[in-house]
Amino acid sequence: MLQAKEITKKFRQQVVLQQACLEVNSEIKALIGINGSGKSTFLKIVAGIVSADHGKVFLNNCDVTSLPPEQRNVGYVPQHPALFQHLTVKENILYGMRNGKGSIDTYERIVDLLDLQAVLDKHPRELSGGYRTRTSLARALVPQPQILLMDEPLTGIDVVLKERILPDFRKVLKELQVPVLYVTHDPKEAELLADNYALMDNGQVRQVDTSAEAFELIRTSILQEYA
């Protein structure tokens, strides 16, 4: 379970996050927002990659605010798959085990669920976009993280493939019962993957019922800004 409380972050004089609060229980939550709204920064603060100016991050009720990423046990799937090019797919997926995270049983189950058997001995440059994203997801899941953070991982993948991949991802994530925070600016992606939704607007997080509602609120906010 993730609890982020009153997260504030400024880059120079620009306020990116202003007392943003969010909770993720055992669910897939989509955090929706336009580009530059601060959702990726929020995700990186939860992962420990960026430090907050103010606020606290709790994972399973433990305060991890001051811990570096390697001590937080979060899974991170960035916008670009960021696969380690010098390693094979198998070595990429097993990477966390070098640091004692995960087990061979989990690895085999995830490889099976994500249908990666055929490409295990290949290098990332030999893979299609879809397989790269699957590998990136598998690598983040093997260490059995307390929460999986996904930062628009399907950027650059065509719509037809997205519609095929996302239900698969949802099935895998539900089967593994891992809480997920999925950042996106695409309402279709959010609908296909998430159980519920939150909106990142003006550096703050608001709970919404549907992705359509989130986008309506964003649209209104943009119109007000430029009116």
Please check whether residue 206 is in contact with residue 199, taking contact to mean a CB–CB distance below 8 angstroms: yes
The residue among 100 and 227 lying less far from other proteins, judged by its C-beta, is 100
How far is Cα 153 from Cα 80, in angstroms, rounded to an integer? 6
Cβ closest to other proteins, residue 120 vs residue 217: 120
Looking at residue 1, the DSSP 8-state letter turns out to be: -
Nearer residue to other proteins within complex by CB, 72 or 162: 72
CA 23 – CA 45 distance, rounded (Å): 14
**Residue closer to other proteins (CB basis): 100 or 224:** 100
Asked if 58 and 5 count as a contact pair (C-beta separation under 8 A), the reply is: yes
**Shortest Å distance, C-beta 100 to other proteins:** 7
Query: What is the spatial distance between Cα 64 and Cα 142, in angstroms, rounded to a whole number?
Result: 21
As given in the structure block, the two tokens for residue 149 are 């953070």
* C-beta closer to other proteins: residue 185 or 214: 185
Beta carbons of 33 and 203 less than 8 angstroms apart: no
In whole angstroms, the minimum distance from the beta carbon of 5 to other proteins comes to: 21
Within 32-84, where are the H helices? 39-47
Element holding 220 (H helix, E strand): helix 211-226
Residues that bind other proteins (CB under 8 A): 44, 47-49, 68-70, 72, 74-76, 78-80, 82, 84-86, 95-96, 98-101, 136, 139-140, 143, 145
| Cβ 91 to other proteins shortest distance, Å | 11
**CA nearest 64: which of 121, 132, 2?**
2
User: Cβ closer to other proteins: 11 or 84?
Assistant: 84
Smallest gap from Cβ 163 to other proteins, in A, equals: 25
Q: How far is the CB of 4 from other proteins (least distance, A)?
A: 16
Name the minimum Å distance from CB 79 to other proteins.
7
Q: Dihedral of CA 104/89/44/154: which sign?
A: negative
Closer by beta carbon to other proteins, 29 or else 44? 44
| Smallest distance from other proteins to CB 208, Å | 28
* CA–centroid distance for 223 within its chain: 28
